[in-house]
Structure 1
């Protein structure tokens, strides 16, 4: 079969009579999506991103930035820079999903080969399941605290051995809610996100207006000057941008999982623009305003929204705020973690799973992670997730270089589902992608793992590690595939 020409605007679908496709690489849920089934508009994608950006981790991010010494306006600039950078990477990487209707786990085969793709797919699945577990357990703690404030007897519930029953009931309910939302495929998830994303923004806006009334203005936090200057401002600012990006770095890899449902490139671009940098730069000052109000009311800034609800002692507000926090956690988890991890598991076990079963498997694996055992040590958790995100940076660069520089936006869809096709490389592995990933990690990981001051330029490398990882991975991969002694598909 001749390579499909793209981007063209015509439907480049895989022929379902194609006998060359391997059952270990093909599943109806990861097959190319026909254009007539791509019904997401820019509103849909913007709502999905709104639901993901509005979460407790993003809310508390400003707290960490201000604690380092940044002013409120510098926090806004850092957030804007991080999300604009993410938008650019995701916009480019999402285009392939929208054009060809395939998820990340299939698209990555062009660069790494059908067997080599297992490595980035497995890494992405691990990141998604860990994030799912973290967000879900945080939501269960919020539900437990809210239930205790609304029903005093909740805290007195115990198992026969004396173990508090309330937290386990909260875990059960939160995991069950995730299963309910994720059941019946992507269309139920889409409908949930269309409500959840805007709802969280409306509630946050109302809370920000309440905060302005309490503070009689923007509040004391906006008046605190920066304590960082010169090189310290540059290095810490770069590290802060990289940290914010780290929350979503893995999604820069698998954005095709969502963009494959969008009807046009225009919808994809507008939806992500509104849902990412625009929403983030609106949401960040809301979190600072609300925290300013807590400084006025309680004499100290409180960045945890659950603690704020507990201190206000207002039952209707506690109920409304608690539901919003839980909806926000569900929103980011379903679209940001369950969907990509489900596709990743589908590509690893295509003959045993469909999308619904894969989603339930992700939820169950999140339980086996047992976050209650290590949740009190968040530095360890986020250090691990940060390293995994660093590993994904060169993969992002390789995907972009493969699609735009090596393939010139041309893909033969049928051969993405074959071990012996155009993208098979050497026995299913493409050494150029593996070598580019390995060499880039040799540059990124030592500065990140070794104690500060061990290596020259260590702080500068860490400050721009995500950008450096993308650029280095892309340059190395492109260089390997332009070697005059080899054809690109051999490497």
Structure 2
């Protein structure tokens, strides 16, 4: 399974624009992640502030608690299926997303999906890191009351938050710039720890609400067509949290030793952990209504409102660990690979990681994070934008390449993946046509069904168009791979 497809000539000279040590296939001897490592990575990523707020906000738009669980279950089941299939190529060949995508888009055309994925990763990194900065700011304020009384502000941010952000950014750098094995070891402890503390917080919520009965007695405020349209849109929004990971899951699966390990690890770490974590966020949000009279989405605001030093320390530290956990594995690592793929002579993994940290400041996360009503809009845009890339990758690997890649040709400007001057127009056309279809319906507010199911339609439609455009070339590819 782990043997690479052989070429007729093993004396390939890889083009330095397409190859460096970090982009090379991971040999079987170095694929030492097992199912537990994969599960703990996902356990650490699932518990993050954006996922918390998105799940908690479902009740605010009219869904009952039980319907929220149906939404979460549907979204994570669809994600898990997509990731299982898209992860297989990474595990089989030891290749990252930014190399695998050349099979469908060509070596130059691949820069488009790689760039889109990098932008999403840097955006999410910045937002999660800002949440951790808020938590650190709350911790320091609890320990040092004078901290909160600094009056000076720069660029719309208090000096305290700038200092907290600097410390959090440095902490991210310490962990992420020591390679994927440091990331694996960090996730081994971070994921389970976050789950334990979240469970304690959920216990507090149940205590405040005097049980879970009142929570599940709350009726739904949505009926008929409105319910189903919002249900689909809510599922798409939850998928939007992880749509970028559905694209670049090979960045993680390339280090897993077998297909069995990646499947079991993702099954435990993604849908199971998410289904356990989501009720916790719903319980905690409901408890804030009981305790304070209105829902509080931001967990840092909850800690500040409760005003208990010990709780602030424990809760704030957990938020920081959760942000580090999702960022180092799910945002910094794929964005670093994307950057070194686009600029292999200028970047290695460590330099790419540092550049992600620097670019994250430019996202100005405080302008977005403090407006949680924008969450669903952003998530739907991300889901719709990345869906065509997922559909094209799946169609290319399973229907066009039949799970067989000629690895050496992915590192040169020639061969079956080269296309026209490095651009495979079938993939680019499929992506653009799908995006036009999806965004045309959104901009002009037509086809409500399409708007609410944009990720599913985007994956299916792009894969279908790509398969049709490559139908005649499919037989030629079979002949080439047999040579």
Query: For residue 483 of structure 1, what is the aligned residue in structure 2?
Result: 472
Q: Tell me, what secondary structure is at the counterpart of 2:472?
A: coil
Q: Tell me, what secondary structure is at the counterpart of 1:321?
A: helix
Structure 2 residue 349 is the aligned partner of structure 1 residue 360: no
Query: For residue 423 of structure 2, what is the aligned residue in structure 1?
Result: 429
CA distance in 1, matches of 2:6, 2:410: 12
Shift of 1:149: 2.7
Kindly tell me: are residues 390 and 37 of structure 1, through their superposed partners in 2, closer, same or farther at Cα, counting changes over 3 Å? same
Kindly tell me: are residues 126 and 47 of structure 1, through their superposed partners in 2, closer, same or farther at Cα, counting changes over 3 Å? same
Q: Which of 64, 79, 82 pairs up with 1:86?
A: 79
Deviations 1:224-251 (A, max 9, x none): 1111122111111001000100111111
C-alpha RMSD over aligned residues: 2.4
Q: What is the TM-score when the length of structure 2 is the normalising length?
A: 0.94
Is the 8 Å Cα contact of residues 400 and 470 (structure 2) preserved in structure 1? yes
Is the 8 Å Cα contact of residues 158 and 166 (structure 1) preserved in structure 2? no
Q: Which of 193, 203, 211 pairs up with 2:197?
A: 203
Deviates further, 383-392 or 178-187: 383-392
Is the 8 Å Cα contact of residues 44 and 194 (structure 1) preserved in structure 2? yes
CA distance in 2, matches of 1:211, 1:282: 15
Q: Which of 33, 36, 42 pairs up with 2:35?
A: 42
Structure 2 residue 60 is the aligned partner of structure 1 residue 71: no
Shift of 1:168: 1.0
Deviates further, 278-287 or 135-144: 135-144
Structure 2 residue 106 is the aligned partner of structure 1 residue 113: yes
CA distance in 2, matches of 1:91, 1:422: 26
Is the 8 Å Cα contact of residues 237 and 376 (structure 2) preserved in structure 1? no
Kindly tell me: are residues 250 and 208 of structure 1, through their superposed partners in 2, closer, same or farther at Cα, counting changes over 3 Å? same
Query: For residue 323 of structure 1, what is the aligned residue in structure 2?
Result: 317
Shift of 1:447: 1.8
Query: For residue 454 of structure 2, what is the aligned residue in structure 1?
Result: 465
CA distance in 2, matches of 1:296, 1:383: 28
Correspondences of 1:395-414 after superposition (within 5 Å): 395-414=389-408
Is the 8 Å Cα contact of residues 243 and 386 (structure 2) preserved in structure 1? yes
Query: For residue 474 of structure 1, what is the aligned residue in structure 2?
Result: 463
Deviations 1:173-223 (A, max 9, x none): 111111011121111111111111111001011122232233331153322
CA distance in 2, matches of 1:185, 1:67: 41
Kindly tell me: are residues 354 and 18 of structure 1, through their superposed partners in 2, closer, same or farther at Cα, counting changes over 3 Å? farther
CA distance in 2, matches of 1:116, 1:161: 40
CA distance in 1, matches of 2:195, 2:121: 24
Shift of 1:391: 2.0
Is the 8 Å Cα contact of residues 14 and 32 (structure 1) preserved in structure 2? no
Deviations 1:140-179 (A, max 9, x none): 1222233223311001235599984211111101111110
Q: Which of 14, 21, 26 pairs up with 1:33?
A: 26
Kindly tell me: are residues 137 and 315 of structure 1, through their superposed partners in 2, closer, same or farther at Cα, counting changes over 3 Å? same
Query: For residue 175 of structure 1, what is the aligned residue in structure 2?
Result: 169
Correspondences of 1:128-207 after superposition (within 5 Å): 128-159=121-152, 164-207=158-201
Q: Gapped runs of 5+ residues in structure 1?
A: 1-7
Correspondences of 1:359-398 after superposition (within 5 Å): 359-373=353-367, 375-376=369-370, 383=377, 386-398=380-392
Is the 8 Å Cα contact of residues 155 and 164 (structure 1) preserved in structure 2? no
Is the 8 Å Cα contact of residues 123 and 388 (structure 1) preserved in structure 2? no
Deviations 1:62-82 (A, max 9, x none): 332111111101000100000
CA distance in 1, matches of 2:377, 2:9: 44
CA distance in 1, matches of 2:309, 2:177: 32
Shift of 1:276: 1.0
Kindly tell me: are residues 151 and 120 of structure 1, through their superposed partners in 2, closer, same or farther at Cα, counting changes over 3 Å? same
Q: Gapped runs of 5+ residues in structure 2?
A: none
Q: What is the TM-score when the length of structure 1 is the normalising length?
A: 0.92
CA distance in 1, matches of 2:175, 2:235: 32
Deviates further, 14-23 or 466-475: 14-23
Task: Tell me the matched-pair count.
Answer: 478
CA distance in 2, matches of 1:100, 1:29: 14
Is the 8 Å Cα contact of residues 57 and 297 (structure 2) preserved in structure 1? no
